[in-house]
Amino acid sequence: MQLYNVLVRPLITEKNTILQALNKYAFEIAKEANKPQVKQAVEKTFKVKVTTVNVSTVPGKTKRVGRRMVQTRSWKKAIVTLKAGDKIEIFEGV
């Protein structure tokens, strides 16, 4: 897998904004991505030093569309902890 395909989008929510005070940033990642690939992608893209990566799969939810019940897709989330003093500028001012 290519490194530019690993990170899908940054996750900007209230809970993730609170985690930024602890130098933790959240990203949606590709289903096939693993921890070393996420670490390399974040370090290369944002030029920071990553200490730990936590990965979890978020299951899809059941939604009602008319009379039918449909399942939304499941996706993968990574929470990346950076070295003290490093920041990712894309998350600043949000």
Interval 35-74: pLDDT, tens: 999 999 999 999 999 999 999 999 999 999 999 999 999 9
**Token pair belonging to 73:** 């897709």
pLDDT category of residue 93 using cuts at 50, 70 and 90? low
Would you state the pLDDT for residue 94?
Answer: 63
Domains of the chain with bracketed CATH: 3-86 (3.30.70.330)
What percent helix, strand, coil does the chain show, rounded to 5?
30, 35, 35
- Quote the pTM value: 0.88
Nearest to residue 11, comparing CAs of 31, 23, 33, 29? 29
Mean pLDDT of the chain: 94
Would you state the pLDDT for residue 74?
Answer: 97
Dihedral (Cα; 10, 13, 14, 17), 10-degree rounding: 10
Would you state the pLDDT for residue 91?
Answer: 73
DSSP letter, residue 37: H
Nearest to residue 49, comparing CAs of 13, 80, 22? 80
